[in-house]
Amino acid sequence: MHSWLAARTQWQRRGLAFLAGALATLAHAPFQLTLFYVIAITVLVWLLDGAAKLGATFWGRVGRGFALGWWFGFGHLITGLYWVSSAFMVDSGAWGPMWGVPATIGLAASLALFWALGCATAIALWTTDIRRIAWFTVCVFASEWLRGNILTGFPWLLPGYVWTPGEPLSQLASVLGIYGLSLLTLLVAATPAALGDGGEGAGRRFAPILVAALLVGMSWGWGAERLSRAIVDAPGLQPIVRVADSGLSQAQKWEGRVDQEWRVLQRYLDVSDAPDESRASIVIWPEGAIPVVNFFMLENPDFMSAIGRGMGDRVLVTGVTRREARSDGVAYFNSAAVIDGVSGVPRLSQTYDKNHLVPFGEYIPFWSLVSRLNIAPLQRIGAGFEAGPPPSRLVVPDAPPAVVLICYEAIFPGMVPRGEERPGWIISLTNDAWFGGGSGPYQHYAMARYRAIEEGLPLARAASGGVSAIVDAYGREIRATSGRVLGAEAQLPSAIPPTALARWGNALFGLLLVFIAGLRFFPRTWLSRELKA
């Protein structure tokens, strides 16, 4: 296999890397075909094997590794993030395909540099034996960790997300987090590359695969046993929660009619009770549920009174756009509001202002320079939103304290407070209508479910244009919207004791990373003989 790949032309090898990257996308939601990820990563390792043998110079090898990694990453990210262009189509007059297509290509091309960096680092200390599998794993993992953390981070399509949330293997996230699970996923996916190791006996070529299979099997067994111990709550133990969506696209929400806010409100009030009589004491609406077309929701007494009449004594948690007057102007926030009512009289009890904002979507970096180009954020709010403090517990009447994660925040592990500030559940508010009708909303939903697994907390998710659902502390879906059913309700599952990850942080994951990295520096004779082409 190595010889065949080495005989390909430079652009043929890059084309194969691109196709392998695209194939890897099928392992993520909504497909979850994990085997394709294993095939894709194995092909990438074989391509790097060939690149390592093509030339004698160090920088020549590193350059080829960089190019192969970039083409793999570009194929993976352009097929996994194609839906980003949908956000630019909401206001086609201001943005449209002239901006959306090149912006999406530019995003994928930029993020692919992390894959390029990982592969270039790996090939710099490449070996001709099985140790290269461990070294490849660590280098690519490090580049994926950087992608998820530097320059505000964008941890979308991490390797660990190829395991369906709520199933046994996903439970490893409660111990190692999504990054630890990603590390193990890369290791397992790269191991079959040993099958192509010429010069090795069958035993040495199959032994790594048997070890990887044993690791997967033991992990699955542990996860299945963990799920089998889950306790089902008795009826009435927890409040009943309803998540609701208006069913409107982003363009429909932004229609510039004089009664637009009222029309959207009526949609939410209808679905908060329909199609049956709701028994929920808590209703959750998505991020930015009511558009800002003619007025700001929290500033309009008549609008708030209408909410009170429609919700009665129930508690409403909803995404809102709010503004705050300051001495130097007006600050805008993408917020969540807790509104409770007694006899139909609404009371704004608490708000949370989104902490982790989306670059270029909710604010423009270097605004003083970019504003001269007449470019505005997609949200149409002047220079964009301002960031609030990190998430903290909110008091929700007649329910355990909650933490709210707004849209993009749910893709970042570790944002939920721990220790004494640990909440009893997670509320996720998002506007996935920006993503269009493709795979983006399903990818986002899968990532949010992993936050429940990591923290051992139930999740109530209200998504405009996406999947609204109630999820238990193991990431399992209890009830969800689908098709034309825009509301879903269920008794809120109970939280479980803090997970190993919540108690010890990344300590176990760090030890695993050090161990795998150390395999690269074991004496070669301990692991295998040198490969022969």
- Which residues are the active-site residues? 287, 354, 407
What is the CB neighbour count within 10 angstroms for residue 104? 21
How far from chain centre, in Å, is Cα 210?
31
Distance CA 14, CA 20 (A): 10
Instruction: Provide the strand spans (E) within 158-311.
Output: 240-244, 282-284
Distance CA 209, CA 338 (A): 52
Residues in a beta bridge with 482: 485
Distance CA 209, CA 355 (A): 43
H-helix or E-strand spanning residue 80: helix 58-80
Distance CA 499, CA 505 (A): 9
Distance CA 199, CA 205 (A): 10
> Of 445, 472, 429, 441, which is closest to residue 243 (Cα–Cα)?
429
CA 10 vs CA 6, 367, 520: distances in Å: 9, 41, 28
Say whether 241 sits in a helix, a strand or coil: strand
Q: Give DSSP secondary structure letters for 450-498.
A: HHHHHHT--EEEEEETS--EEE-TTS-EEEE-BTTB-EEEEEPPPP-SP
Distance CA 168, CA 227 (A): 7
Three-class DSSP labels, 435-458: HCCCCHHHHHHHHHHHHHHHHCCC
What is the CB neighbour count within 10 angstroms for residue 252? 16
Q: Is 232 exposed, middle or buried (0-12, 13-18, 19+ CB in 10 A)?
A: exposed
* Backbone torsions φ then ψ of 45, nearest 5 degrees: -65, -40
Tokens of 431: 């506007």
Q: Who's near 491: CB < 8 A, 6+ residues apart? A: 233, 235, 236, 237, 238, 239, 240, 241
Distance CA 155, CA 145 (A): 8
What is the CB neighbour count within 10 angstroms for residue 3? 12
Residues 395, 398, 401, CA angle at the centre, nearest 5°? Answer: 30
Q: Give DSSP secondary structure letters for 289-340.
A: -S--SSS-GGG-HHHHHHHHHHHTTSEEEEEEEEEEEETTEEEEEEEEEEEE
